[in-house]
Amino acid sequence: MRRRLINSTLAVVLVVIAVFGVSLVIVETRTITNSAQERVESEAVRLASIVDSRLLSEEQVTGDILRDQVAGDRYAVIRMPGRAPIHIGTKPEGDVIRYTAPGEQGEKVTVEEPRSAVTREVGRTFLLIAGVALLAIVAAVLLAVRQANRLASPLTDLASTAERLGSGDPRPRHKRYGVPELDRVADVLDGSAERIARMLTAERRLAADASHQLRTPLTALSMRLEEITMTDDLDEVKEEATIALAQVERLTDVVERLLTNSRDPRTGSAVTFDLDEVIKQQLEEWRPAYRSAGRAIVSSGKRHLTAVGTPGAVAQVLAALIENSLMHGGGTVALRTRVTGNQAVIEVTDEGPGVPSELGSRIFERTISGRNSTGIGLAVARDLAEADGGRLEMLQASPPVFGLFLSRTPMKKPSDDDPEQPTIR
């Protein structure tokens, strides 16, 4: 591109110089020739006037007297009736510029000038024009190089930015070049980079959430399958298989929930459900793991509570809290239910040391963990709770108490007959 810009600019300049330069040379040549002719004519007329004045006054007319009136490179001949011609200067050879002026006393004055003088002056003028043209060409080349660099370098830079986007580096450059069209392209590329960065962040977050949320149901399913392989009792095999199928259904629900949240975290299918059923399912699922760790998990509090939300999402939140107590807590884990206002609350507590003071409210931030864990379990649990219109809070740091707050009243959906809703016509 640089070469094309330079060549096109240079071509335009050469055309302009060729058109105007040749025209200027022709005009100047004619001007110089005409000027030389006028000088010769003027000198011939002036000499004729001098000769006339001397003849009228009957003064002597000689070459010595008139020699000072003729320029050194010119040749003059004065012819007077009845007298010998007077020659002043050296007769030029070759082509000359000549003019003969008649006098009032019958004399004739002829002045000649060699055309080589005109040729030399034309040559000097041509060299001057050629020098100016050369300077114009050099200036045009420098300007073309500067302009080419100003346009080509940003394009190269933008191509590099696009290549970085394609290679997975979505960092925006925020670099502008002072050219509106190129700055517009840079704006579009920076906007694309920001959108790609958000998409990659969402994809990585989905992958991390999926790996964390699927781990628990897969572990539970694996335990049930192990129970099946270790027993010969057909009734127990059927019971364990039924539980395993329930785990598969929960696994499917987890996957669907993750995909739904990745598209729109506020898109849910909230229903009124029985909290006892969800808590019972979690107790049955986690008791084998707690039994293996020499610990217990129990439930207490108000029974037969109903809440509004997605049962699968609430189960995932409780599973995250129970797993967190298993990994970082100690002693017996208790799930307590209570009512506060129009909300049902499920508290999960254990007898461990609690949340370190340096973590505090940051416990729900991603990558924040008190031990060598992923640090995303509680963050995902809070997102799931908020997606259902609830909230997850740490009510007490030591001993740790986490509370899941769920609404007990379904949210009123907008109705076509609701006078408070605007009508679109």
Question: What is the domain count for the chain?
Answer: 3
CA distances from 409 to 160, 269, 403 (A): 56, 15, 18
State residue 211's pLDDT score: 64
Whether 126 and 191 map to the same domain: the answer is: no
Rg, C-alpha atoms of the chain:
53
Residue 240 domain flag = no
Whether 118 and 9 map to the same domain: the answer is: yes
Beta strand spans in 214-304 (E): 271-274, 297-301
CA distances from 306 to 40, 69, 315 (A): 124, 131, 14
Residue 408 domain flag = yes
Residue 357 domain flag = yes
CA distance 75 to 92: 7
CA distance 366 to 376: 5
State residue 279's pLDDT score: 93
- Taking only the tens of pLDDT, the chain with its 425 residues reads 667 777 788 888 888 888 888 888 888 888 988 888 888 888 888 888 888 888 888 777 777 777 777 877 788 888 888 888 888 888 888 888 888 888 887 888 888 888 888 888 888 888 888 888 888 888 888 888 887 777 777 777 777 777 777 776 777 777 777 778 778 888 887 887 777 777 666 666 666 666 666 666 677 677 767 777 877 778 777 777 777 777 677 667 666 666 665 544 444 557 889 999 999 988 988 888 888 889 999 999 999 999 998 887 888 889 889 988 988 889 999 999 999 999 999 999 999 888 887 776 678 876 655 555 545 678 878 888 888 789 999 998 888 999 999 998 875 554 444 444 433 33
CA distance 131 to 125: 10
Which domain range does residue 6 map to? 2-139
CA distance 391 to 382: 7
Nearest to 71 by CA among 114, 15, 20: 114
CA distance 8 to 147: 12
State residue 424's pLDDT score: 34
Contact indicator for 37, 97 with CB cutoff of 8 Å: yes
Residue 373 domain flag = yes
Q: Which helix (H) or strand (E) holds 327?
A: helix 311-328
State residue 201's pLDDT score: 67
Q: For residue 98, list its beta bridge partners.
A: 112
